[in-house]
């Protein structure tokens, strides 16, 4: 299903805000949903957590406009083609179109808090659209999001599709493909307790019924990953791989060595880290209830200091020493270069002002950057008058090695991106000890060589992501072989694997060898169809339904879905090309 994954880029909130608690106004309150309780039911018994949450980016992910929540300057400001104004309870955008006409939109919600704040404007069809103008909270200025695809009327700026599920609690998109319209609802407008802990009504009514405080990485992953959705809706606490498929280390999302490139958030990077492999979780470094983090190195030295928490991480016993000293970082204490994040979490800037740190927590490898042309923590941010070769020599002098480093998986992936990697070396990455996301990426490169791909027998791999790629190994084989070689995927415990299996077998299901396999196929095929139906608010959803119809020989249905994709986005080239090819049949 290499053409089938639909990637949603989520506009997540970063940074902090003042200590402010906002109660939903009467017109935004929603009837209690099944299983969900108002946040006010939580705060009475959990006052400390509530106090930390109030005013946090989660609390202020989305809010009704008030003098306290609106950070931008709306005092009769004219910015290029837009006039901003504030009168009483209304904050407004007046936007001049290319034909000279002016449309006035009232701000329905603030969106985010820092380092930038956007504003949601109501458009026909139940759409809330993110403003193309954003407020830079650190510099106190307006700036325009430059990507033409992010014009405020663009489908790719539609809150209902692109943003809602990670800025509000228990969102139902409510999309009607026949009318191309939304009736989106949510339990609460911000990211409240139950966004992470799950429905809490039963616990609120009877506190002896536990609602576990989840601390695993998968609690955060749904909204802190670049991923493709597999279902219409995920309930907190359910396995990540049953609802999402994390995107692998392919361009343009990542550099071949795994460094962040596009806006991929944190999960895909963090799963590459040694910390993740040793059992470190997000809340070891972050307080999920508030945004503030220590400005110094104390977050890191809790583990990388003289007295590490050996009961949690016994492997630290062999390296229990204070790393916040010049002998380790080789910089003046207190200087920017002495900050752990400067070397181990280099940053990239998105949307003009949003600085995101790479969560691989990796040892700097300027030698690897010199080979691959990837960013180097030393010379990209600080020592810009030098090159990675200089940095590599400097680091080698600081930390001499008796043995050469083994080849990094990034070297193999870099060759693979240019069609120069041998199947044998890709197989070595898949079978080796690289992070799962890197092993899955190497296996993706082997899909072009079905014999080598199948020879790995990765159907038994412990990683659902690797197994999901392995389920595609036989996609180009004759129907009977596709069915025989992929049937295993239909009974996998993870939906991400079953969906790939159903995709590959569609059109070849008559070759399945047993009634049990056929029943499993029908169940997985229903999951596949449900996934694409849930995506019909995007052209990719209609396009994938068309591909599915073509695989089953339903030509009229395929043509209708291609046409639907083009109605949603007339510039969606894959649908136009496939529709033309279908017309020539």
In a domain, 175, yes or no: yes
- Please indicate, yes or no, whether residues 160 and 308 belong to a single structural domain of this protein: no
In a domain, 69, yes or no: yes
In a domain, 33, yes or no: no
Query: Per-residue pLDDT averaged across 296-310, rounded?
Result: 93
Of the pLDDT bands very low, low, confident and very high (cuts 50, 70, 90), residue 35 is confident
Please give the full DSSP string across 224-284, using - where no structure is assigned: SB-EEE-SS---TTS-GGGTEEE--S-TTTB-TTS-B-SS-BSHHHHTTSHHHHTT--HHH
How far is residue 20's CA from residue 110's CA, in Å, rounded to a whole number? 14
As a whole-number percent, the residues of the chain with pLDDT over 90 amount to: 83
- Please indicate, yes or no, whether residues 186 and 232 belong to a single structural domain of this protein: no
173 is written with which tokens?
């998109």
In a domain, 340, yes or no: yes
- Please indicate, yes or no, whether residues 50 and 192 belong to a single structural domain of this protein: yes
How far is residue 108's CA from residue 62's CA, in Å, rounded to a whole number? 10
- Please indicate, yes or no, whether residues 63 and 158 belong to a single structural domain of this protein: yes
Please write the tens of the pLDDT for every residue from 130-189: 999 999 999 999 999 867 667 899 898 999 999 999 999 999 999 999 999 999 999 999
Please give the DSSP secondary-structure letter assigned to residue 185. B
Residue appearing with tokens 């993110």: 130
Find all residues with CB under 8 Å of 104, minimum gap 6, and list them: 92, 93, 94, 95
pLDDT value at residue 288: 86
- Please indicate, yes or no, whether residues 54 and 188 belong to a single structural domain of this protein: yes
273 is written with which tokens?
């880290």
pLDDT value at residue 148: 64
Q: For residues 225 and 260, is the Cβ–Cβ distance under 8 A?
A: no
* Residue 6 predicted with pLDDT over 80: no
pLDDT value at residue 29: 42
In a domain, 3, yes or no: no
The 10 Å Cβ neighbour count of residue 276 is 20
Dihedral angle sign, alpha carbons of residues 368, 371, 374, 377: positive
Query: Per-residue pLDDT averaged across 107-124, rounded?
Result: 97
pLDDT value at residue 542: 97
How far is residue 558's CA from residue 542's CA, in Å, rounded to a whole number? 9
Please write the tens of the pLDDT for every residue from 198-248: 999 999 999 988 887 778 899 999 999 999 999 999 989 899 999 999 999
* Residue 305 predicted with pLDDT over 80: yes
Please write the tens of the pLDDT for every residue from 282-298: 999 999 898 667 778 99
Residue that terminates a domain, selected from 420, 435, 460:
460
- Residue bearing the bigger pLDDT, 16 or 281: 281
Dihedral angle sign, alpha carbons of residues 371, 376, 380, 384: negative
- Please indicate, yes or no, whether residues 208 and 233 belong to a single structural domain of this protein: no
> Does this model's pTM top 0.85?
yes
- Please indicate, yes or no, whether residues 312 and 445 belong to a single structural domain of this protein: no
| Owning domain of residue 443 | 408-460
Q: For residues 496 and 243, is the Cβ–Cβ distance under 8 A?
A: no
Q: Residue length, the chain?
A: 585
Residue that terminates a domain, selected from 187, 213, 239:
213
The 10 Å Cβ neighbour count of residue 211 is 18
3-class SS of residue 585: coil
Angle, CA of 419, 424 and 427, to the nearest 5°: 95
Neighbouring-strand partners of residue 109? 120
Query: Per-residue pLDDT averaged across 67-80, rounded?
Result: 93
Q: What is the mean pLDDT of the chain?
A: 91
How far is residue 370's CA from residue 374's CA, in Å, rounded to a whole number? 7
In a domain, 541, yes or no: no
CA–centroid distance for 1 within its chain: 19
How far is residue 451's CA from residue 474's CA, in Å, rounded to a whole number? 9
The 10 Å Cβ neighbour count of residue 451 is 10
In a domain, 361, yes or no: yes
Cα dihedral 39, 40, 41, 43, rounded to 10, equals 90
pLDDT value at residue 97: 86
* Residue 14 predicted with pLDDT over 70: no
Residue that terminates a domain, selected from 330, 350, 365:
365
* Residue 17 predicted with pLDDT over 50: no
User: Mean pLDDT lowest for which of 76-85, 217-226, 247-256, 483-492?
Assistant: 76-85
Q: How many domains does the chain have?
A: 3
3-class SS of residue 360: coil
**Residue 415 parent element (H or E):** helix 409-417
- Please indicate, yes or no, whether residues 237 and 360 belong to a single structural domain of this protein: yes
- Please indicate, yes or no, whether residues 317 and 419 belong to a single structural domain of this protein: no
- Please indicate, yes or no, whether residues 96 and 199 belong to a single structural domain of this protein: yes
Classify residue 45 by burial, with Cβ atoms within 10 Å: 0-12, 13-18, 19+.
Answer: exposed
449 is written with which tokens?
């060589």
- Please indicate, yes or no, whether residues 354 and 426 belong to a single structural domain of this protein: no
pLDDT value at residue 213: 73
- Please indicate, yes or no, whether residues 101 and 245 belong to a single structural domain of this protein: no
How far is residue 383's CA from residue 394's CA, in Å, rounded to a whole number? 12
78 is written with which tokens?
């004219």
In a domain, 555, yes or no: no
Q: For residues 109 and 63, is the Cβ–Cβ distance under 8 A?
A: yes
Q: Give me Rg for the CA atoms of the chain.
A: 25
């Amino acid at each position: 299903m290499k053409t089938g994954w639909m990637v949603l880029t989520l506009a997540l909130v970063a940074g902090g805000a003042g200590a402010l608690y906002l109660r939903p106004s009467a017109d935004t309150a929603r009837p209690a949903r099944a299983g969900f309780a108002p946040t006010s039911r939580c705060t009475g018994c959990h006052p400390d957590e509530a106090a930390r949450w109030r005013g946090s980016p989660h609390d202020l992910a989305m809010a009704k406009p008030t003098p306290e929540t609106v950070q931008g300057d709306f005092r009769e400001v004219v910015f290029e083609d837009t006039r901003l104004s504030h009168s009483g309870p209304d904050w407004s955008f007046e936007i001049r179109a290319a034909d000279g006409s002016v449309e006035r939109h009232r701000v329905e919600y603030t969106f985010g808090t820092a380092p930038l704040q956007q504003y949601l404007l109501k458009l026909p069809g139940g759409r809330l659209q993110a403003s193309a103008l954003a407020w830079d909270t650190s510099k106190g200025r307006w700036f325009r999001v430059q990507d033409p695809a992010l014009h405020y009327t663009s489908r790719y700026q539609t809150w209902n599709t692109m943003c809602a599920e990670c800025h509000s609690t228990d969102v139902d998109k409510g999309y009607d493909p026949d009318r191309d319209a939304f009736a989106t609802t949510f339990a609460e407008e911000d990211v409240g307790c139950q966004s992470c802990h799950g429905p809490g009504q039963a616990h609120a009514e009877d506190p002896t019924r536990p609602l576990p405080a989840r601390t695993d990485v998968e609690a955060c992953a749904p909204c802190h990953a670049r991923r493709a959705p597999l279902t219409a809706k995920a309930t907190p606490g359910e396995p990540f791989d049953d609802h999402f498929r994390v995107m692998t280390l392919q361009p343009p999302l990542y550099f071949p060595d795994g460094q962040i490139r596009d806006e991929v958030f944190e999960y895909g990077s963090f799963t590459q880290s040694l910390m993740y492999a040793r059992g470190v979780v997000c809340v070891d470094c972050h307080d999920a209830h508030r945004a503030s983090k220590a400005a110094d190195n104390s977050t890191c030295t809790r583990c990388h200091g003289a007295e590490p928490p050996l009961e949690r991480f016994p492997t630290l016993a062999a390296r229990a020493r204070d790393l916040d000293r010049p002998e380790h970082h080789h910089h003046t204490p207190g200087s920017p270069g002495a900050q752990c994040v400067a070397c181990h979490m280099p940053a990239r800037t998105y949307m003009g002002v949003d600085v995101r740190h790479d969560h691989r927590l990796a040892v700097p490898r300027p030698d690897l950057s010199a080979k691959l042309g990837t960013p180097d923590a030393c010379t990209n941010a600080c020592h810009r008058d030098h090159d990675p070769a200089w940095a590599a020599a400097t680091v080698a002098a600081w930390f001499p090695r008796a043995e050469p480093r083994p080849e990094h998986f990034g070297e193999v992936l870099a060759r693979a991106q240019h069609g120069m990697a041998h199947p044998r070396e890709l197989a070595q990455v898949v079978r080796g000890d690289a992070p799962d996301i890197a092993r899955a990426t190497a296996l993706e490169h082997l899909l072009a060589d079905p014999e080598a791909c199948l020879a790995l027998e990765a159907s038994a791999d412990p990683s659902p992501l690797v197994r999901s790629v392995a389920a595609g190994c036989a996609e180009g084989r004759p129907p009977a072989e596709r069915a025989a070689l992929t049937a295993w995927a239909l009974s996998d415990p993870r939906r991400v694997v079953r969906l790939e299996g159903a995709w590959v077998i569609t059109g070849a299901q008559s070759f399945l060898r047993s009634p049990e396999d056929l029943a499993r196929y029908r169940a997985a095929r229903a999951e596949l169809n449900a996934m694409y139906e849930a995506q019909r608010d995007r052209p990719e959803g209609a396009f994938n339904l068309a591909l599915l119809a073509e695989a089953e020989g339903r030509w009229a249905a395929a043509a209708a879905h291609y046409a639907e994709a083009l109605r949603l986005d007339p510039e969606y080239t894959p649908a136009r090309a496939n529709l033309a090819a279908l017309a020539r049949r």
